[in-house]
Structure 1
Amino acid sequence: MPVSPTVSALDSFMEKLDAIQAQHPLIRFNSDWPSECYATQAKDGVTVSWWPTLQAAPNDMFTRLEEALEESIHPDIVDYYCRYWSDPLPASCSDGDLSLIQVWNDEDMERLRSNLIGHALSKRQQKRPLTFFIACPEPDEDFFISVDNFSGEVWLERPGKPPIRKLADNLADFLNSLTPRLIPDTE
């Protein structure tokens, strides 16, 4: 089965990240927050390395999200969130630094689902086109980067306001324009 442009772009981003990251980042192991990203199992609080990991099993979260919203979700968004388990991924673009939102485990995927539903309901209340967030500019927390659910275009947005500026025609182009930054240790 052919991979989508979004999956190819995300895989390419991960390859570039792997090439610059001499050592995998460190994180404190938390058995209450399991993930396939941990390099090893350990006692709680012990520092272990981690790395973004392909999601092995299909996830039905976006099918359930479509049912909840009674609206189809753009396939780029599904491909983006259902490809890897990971902590947020730092990157740079022509506008500055950003953090790509990722999901760590199934529970995190459910948190994402709740946040996306809340975001979608807010958009409906404002009578604005549906978008789904995928990244946050750094250090400015007053903005987010989203994918338009209809067109697949990538936009810079401010909560409660109309989209400010188009960043890319599609998610693959946006991901391909990014330069990965080193993932810091979070011990």
Structure 2
Amino acid sequence: MMQQTADALRDFTARYCQHWQQHYGHAPASADLPGVPSPCAIEERGDCVLWQPQPFSLPPSLEAVERALDIQLQPSITAFYTSQFAGDMQARYAQRKLTLLQVWSEEDFLRLQENLIGHLVMKRRLKLPPTLFIATTDSEEEIISLSNLSGEVILEQPGRKNVEFLAQNIEIFLKHLQPFMGGSADNAL
């Protein structure tokens, strides 16, 4: 499952980068990351940084999260966050706009693990099933997560019990994602 997840993520990332190149004539751009060191950064243009995905250079493990909570994580979440360094990517899943979260650098990977721990601690305190976020949505009240129990991708409202099923697993979710540029400031270079 880890290899299929990594392959599906790389495939979506390649489609995302190709979409940028076809529509804007350059690599993906982010207005959130200029000046932030990363192996992905290839050029700064104004208030944006152009980036390309790079191989993940750390051991492919989320053991720090597992140890902190004495929990075993779905292998696909490890593959999702340890396959590459990349910028966050805007996409559509069905009609839902989302931002697929990615690891920008080694330092960002440490922050990600701390955030995953915090998220799982909150879920535990509220006596809710463990989930691991993989994307944000336009709504501040909804995130897209992986159920650590079933491996399904779900839409959830942190702190609430209700969830909406999106896909059987991350691989299927990634295969159905479509790159989406929207009208963000990142496009205007």
- The answer, yes or no, to whether TM exceeds 0.5 is yes
In the TM superposition, what is the alpha-carbon distance from 1:186 to its structure 2 partner?
Answer: 8.6
Distance 1:48 1:101, change over 3 A: closer
In the TM superposition, what is the alpha-carbon distance from 1:47 to its structure 2 partner?
Answer: 5.9
Rounded Cα–Cα distance in structure 1 between residues aligned with 2:180 and 2:16: 7
Cα-Cα RMSD? 2.3
1:167 corresponds to: 166
2:15 corresponds to: 16
> Helix, strand or coil for the counterpart of 1:66?
helix
Q: Which amino acid in the other structure matches residue 86 of structure 1? A: A
Rounded Cα–Cα distance in structure 2 between residues aligned with 1:181 and 1:153: 23
Distance 1:47 1:122, change over 3 A: closer
2:42 corresponds to: 39
1:128 corresponds to: 128
> Helix, strand or coil for the counterpart of 2:16?
helix
Question: TM-score, normalized by length of structure 1?
Answer: 0.85
> Helix, strand or coil for the counterpart of 2:109?
helix
Rounded Cα–Cα distance in structure 2 between residues aligned with 1:172 and 1:120: 22
Map 1:131-146 → 2, pairs under 5 A: 131-137=131-137, 139-146=138-145
In the TM superposition, what is the alpha-carbon distance from 1:18 to its structure 2 partner?
Answer: 2.5
Say whether the 8 Å CA contact 2:17–2:52 is kept in structure 1: no
2:105 corresponds to: 105
1:181 corresponds to: 180
Distance 1:39 1:69, change over 3 A: same
Deviations 1:100-158 (A, max 9, x none): 01111122111111111111111111111100000012x21110000011211011000
* Structure 1 residues without counterparts, runs of 5 or longer: none
In the TM superposition, what is the alpha-carbon distance from 1:72 to its structure 2 partner?
Answer: 0.9
Say whether the 8 Å CA contact 1:154–1:167 is kept in structure 2: yes
Distance 1:85 1:186, change over 3 A: farther
* Structure 2 residues without counterparts, runs of 5 or longer: none
- Between 1 and 2, higher relative CO (CA 8 Å, sep ≥ 6) is seen in 1
Deviations 1:60-92 (A, max 9, x none): 4x1111111111111110000111212210001
Identical-residue share of aligned pairs (%)? 34
Deviations 1:49-70 (A, max 9, x none): 322222134244x111111111
Distance 1:29 1:128, change over 3 A: closer
Map 1:9-88 → 2, pairs under 5 A: 9-22=8-21, 23-26=26-29, 29-30=34-35, 33-39=36-42, 48-60=49-61, 62-88=62-88
Distance 1:140 1:29, change over 3 A: closer
> Helix, strand or coil for the counterpart of 1:123?
helix
Q: How many residues align?
A: 179
